[in-house]
Amino acid sequence: MKFQMIENKLYKILLIFFVLALANITKSYSQDSCQIAIVEATAAFDNGNYQKVVDLLKDRINECDYSRDTKLQVYKLLVASYAEIDEIEISEKNALKFLKHNPEYDFLSTDPLTFKNSISKYSIRPNYTFGLDLNIMFITSNVIKSYKIIEDPNYTVTYKDKLSIPFNTAIQKHFTQRFSTCFEFKNYKIETIKNASFSNNYRYESIIKFSTFKLTNLNIYQIIRFNKISLNAFGGFYGYVSKSSEFSITPFTNNIQGEMYDIYNTRYLNVGYTSGLSLIYKIERFNLKIQARYSEDYLLLNRVENRYANPFLNINYLYVDDDIRFSQFEVLIGISYNFFYKIKHKYKK
């Protein structure tokens, strides 16, 4: 009885191994058949037997486990062969499938003419582009109106601004082949040092710091494109909010440094405009970018709450901060990626 049970188990195990081996042989045979079909179809296409190409590949394109590159080659043969036998609608459907798998395809010299003609009937553009930029910002403080210390005609002031190097992240929406709009997100710091001099060798240094979150909207137009290089012009507006600010004063009398006072910490909204040019080099779905732009605040950086009498300065005069706004010259170097392509037939609604 035990021997019979063991015999039954061995029989089941051998049966399972046999089924698995048969399945593997069938799969291997099927894959060999798929590869042979491509060889035969290529030869048939070269000999002008386009109907045979269609018969060999029209079902195998979906049933065979082809690699991406092999599947693209099969689509090429089908698109060209259907066009040769005047099955134009089926040829265009396969051309559309080809472009969905490879929207940034560049024609090769070996591609069949009928394949090129079918592909050329479609316009292809990315729907969205996501990018990351290194942004070198040269910031300048522009004094719109200077408020002097009362009864001190010798009051003078100079500003010194620091270089800022933030990163941009951007999402771009394409509306046509040439026109698109872009939203950029940036976090950066502005620091400007103000040196003021008074009568009797009295002077002080103030440091204004802003850590800002900046949102920029750009409208972009492609001026010219040559092969993989394009020149684009853009313009738009931006807004930023100071996340945390510092306004501190260090008084100096007879070269003796006094105390520092943090007297300003608040949030405010500012807006401005920007414009510039960008040069883009395209590598399949990736874009390498170098860009130059000029930006300037539209609203003044006025802070009425800073107008106060500071008892620590040992003078009984009213201190009024200048009205300033910032301008920036920026150089951006970045990379972006195209996704969600829009593929449309040029001659069909």
Reported as a single tens digit per residue, the pLDDT across 139-177 is: 888 877 776 655 555 666 677 777 888 899 999 999 998
User: Both 136 and 273 in a single domain?
Assistant: yes
More confident residue, 312 or 173: 173
For residue 295, pLDDT beyond 90: yes
- Could you give the 3-state DSSP secondary structure of residue 109? coil
User: Both 97 and 173 in a single domain?
Assistant: no
Percent of the chain that is helix, strand, coil (3-state, to 5): 30, 50, 20
Domain count of the chain? 2
Alpha-carbon distance 141 to 155, whole Å?
A: 18
Position 333 confidence tier, pLDDT thresholds 50, 70, 90: very high
Tokens 């969205």 correspond to what residue? 128
**What is the pLDDT, as a whole number, of residue 308?**
44
Alpha-carbon distance 12 to 18, whole Å?
A: 10
**What is the pLDDT, as a whole number, of residue 306?**
44
User: Both 84 and 132 in a single domain?
Assistant: no
Find the CATH number of the domain harbouring 292: 2.40.160.20
Run of H or E including 59:
none
User: Both 104 and 90 in a single domain?
Assistant: yes
User: Phi and psi dihedrals of 176, rounded to 5?
Assistant: -140, -175
Is 222 a domain residue? yes
User: Both 88 and 184 in a single domain?
Assistant: no
Position 7 confidence tier, pLDDT thresholds 50, 70, 90: low
User: Both 85 and 134 in a single domain?
Assistant: no
Per-residue pLDDT of 37-79, as tens digits, reads 888 888 888 899 999 889 888 888 888 888 888 888 999 999 9
For residue 121, pLDDT beyond 60: yes
Range of the domain at 228: 125-345
Per-residue pLDDT of 12-24, as tens digits, reads 555 555 545 444 5
More confident residue, 149 or 316: 149
User: Both 132 and 90 in a single domain?
Assistant: no
Strands (E), 115-260: 122-145, 156-161, 167-174, 179-197, 202-226, 229-253, 256-257
User: Both 249 and 326 in a single domain?
Assistant: yes
What pTM value is reported for the model? 0.74
Mean pLDDT score of the chain: 78
**Of the spans 128-142, 204-218, 309-323, which averages the highest pLDDT?**
128-142
**Strand-pair partners of 219:** 181, 235
**What is the pLDDT, as a whole number, of residue 175?**
94
Tokens 């590869």 correspond to what residue? 35
